[in-house]
Amino acid sequence: MITTARMGAVDRNAAALGVPQKQLMESSGNAVARVVREVASEGDSVTIVAGRGNNGGDALVAARFLDGYDLSIQLLGRPEAISTDIARENWEALEEAGYPCESVTDSAVLELGEPDVVVDAMLGTGISGELREPEASAARAINACDATVVSVDVPSGVDADTGDVPESAVEADRVVTFHDGKLGLAELDCEVRVEDIGIPAAAERYVGPGDLELGTPAPDAGTRVFVIGGGPYTGAPALSAQAALRAGAELSFLACPDSIGDVLAGYAEDLIVQAYDSDRLSPDEVDDLIETATKHDDVVVLGPGLGTADETLDAARTFLEEFEGPMVVDADALSIVPEVDTDATLVCTPNRKELAGMGGPELDDLEAGADEIEAFAADLGHVVMAKAEADVVSDGERTRISTRGTPGMVVGGTGDTLAGITAAFMGERDPLDAAAAAAYANGRAAERLEKGGGLLASDLLDELPGVIWGER
């Protein structure tokens, strides 16, 4: 099963891999025609009712695969109103080649007659809410006639994600949907066929620009990130907190020992430092930290630069046990995740060594070990983003790989930026989608800098907005 948002992301990744949407539309149209051939006999009359989006475009392609039938092609609206280039090009090709095309500009004029088959291609995944005119009248006409109704992708009007069926929706006999099943089609009383349209498996497996779009909230999402880190180290928490801002967080707070508060504040005026009265994180601070994070619906980053003092790990353990919000767990805090029972929503971001230290697989090549990482994430019950040349992100059921980045990223601190970006995205996005998008953004930032060696994690910061809002 796939959501329509994820389907859109996979489409976009396919285009980035060199398989553009128009090619997918050709496959979709072909698949629609195959189902029409199953329900119609040679010479039967087939009426295509096409909307102005790509759902209509699929059916316009199908027309070219239906020689031998008594075809009628009705476009709902004026050709100038076709909303995508690829659908318009397919319309123009039909007109040019002399197919029986009509543009219906007044819904009352949709003359269905008594066709044997109607292809319902008014609306697919682009719909929201009850059908508007002229689609609503056209749906009534389709439902009133005796024809076998073949719906393209989804019966027009039905929400492919939720399965909501508004009163005005088309009642289909058959549905041809593409690439993968849609949750919203499961309850329908008709035959649903899932057809392969030639999307490369890599478009789902490897993160691409579609994942960036899917996992990145709008720049005004208003997410607050709360980094709990520092003590023995100062750079790591500052990088996480700054990366969160560059990735669109509205505010980035840093909770740290007061011994380093001034140092952290001195790194960047954009950070809000909340120092506690101690040399390192200890259980005494946890209640306050949870109260602050919970009150403001913060996304927490726990771990960067915390160190491994016993009392610090005790504090991290208590925090995990008691916090119930979204959080990224990185670095020194990772080792305790397997021992705690938590209601928080976690993305854990171990490198190879930390992964093994958590009881996960010992791997040289993370990509080759993706199945083992998936199994580990399933056991752990949290999203795992294992980091190396390839980053492997898994929630135990879904696994995505990012091969973006450069060898220069081995430098210290690039994991800290990744944790901050992930947190900024997690405020408004599914944790797996957020983590996958963050891996892509962090890696692309390094690629854009084109440094063979000598990359600094702090170099990535300036580059992030251009990647995130320029490439999504």
Ligand X SMILES: NC(=O)C1=CN([C@@H]2O[C@H](COP(=O)(O)OP(=O)(O)OC[C@H]3O[C@@H](n4cnc5c(N)ncnc54)[C@H](O)[C@@H]3O)[C@@H](O)[C@H]2O)[C@H](O)CC1
Q: Which residues bind ligand X (CB under 6 A)?
A: 7, 11, 21, 24-25, 28, 51-58, 83-84, 123-132, 135, 152-153, 178-179
54 contacts 28 by C-beta, under 8 angstroms:
no
271 contacts 196 by C-beta, under 8 angstroms:
no
Helix/strand/coil for 294:
helix
Q: Kindly state the smallest distance separating residue 426's Cβ from K ion, in Å.
A: 34
Nearer to K ion, 177 or 402 (CB): 177
Q: Kindly state the smallest distance separating residue 379's Cβ from ligand X, in Å.
A: 33
Q: Does 150 bind K ion (CB under 5 A)?
A: no
Residue with tokens 């700054």: 242
> How distant, in Å, are the alpha carbons of 161, 169, 332 from that of 310?
47, 62, 11
Nearer to K ion, 151 or 422 (CB): 151
- Classify the C-alpha dihedral 15-19-23-24 as positive or negative: negative
> What is the C-alpha R_g of the chain?
26
- CA distance linking residue 329 with residue 335, whole number of Å: 10
Q: Kindly state the smallest distance separating residue 25's Cβ from ligand X, in Å.
A: 4
Nearer to K ion, 59 or 313 (CB): 59
Nearer to ligand X, 126 or 232 (CB): 126
| Token pair of 434 as six digits | 């957020």
Q: Kindly state the smallest distance separating residue 175's Cβ from K ion, in Å.
A: 8
| Token pair of 415 as six digits | 């994991």
For K ion, the binding residues in 66-125 under the rule CB under 5 A are 120
Q: Kindly state the smallest distance separating residue 132's Cβ from ligand X, in Å.
A: 4
- CA distance linking residue 320 with residue 325, whole number of Å: 10
Annotated binding site for (6S)-NADPHX: 54-58, 124-130, 153, 236, 305, 416
Report what 151 binds from ligand X, K ion, none; CB cut-off 5-8 Å by kind: K ion
Report what 442 binds from K ion, ligand X, none; CB cut-off 5-8 Å by kind: none
Q: What 8-state DSSP symbol labels residue 394?
A: E
Nearer to ligand X, 70 or 180 (CB): 180
Of 27, 72, 125, 151, the one binding K ion by CB under 5 A: 151
Q: Does 4 bind K ion (CB under 5 A)?
A: no
Nearer to K ion, 125 or 216 (CB): 125
Q: Does 177 bind K ion (CB under 5 A)?
A: no
Q: Kindly state the smallest distance separating residue 262's Cβ from ligand X, in Å.
A: 53
- Within 8 A by CB and 6+ apart from 129, the residues are 166
430 contacts 452 by C-beta, under 8 angstroms:
no
- 347: closest CA among 432, 225, 226, 255? 432
For K ion, the binding residues in 26-65 under the rule CB under 5 A are 55
- Within 8 A by CB and 6+ apart from 364, the residues are 352
CB-based closest residue to ligand X: 124
Residues forming contacts to K ion in the complex (CB under 5 A) are 55, 120, 151-152, 156
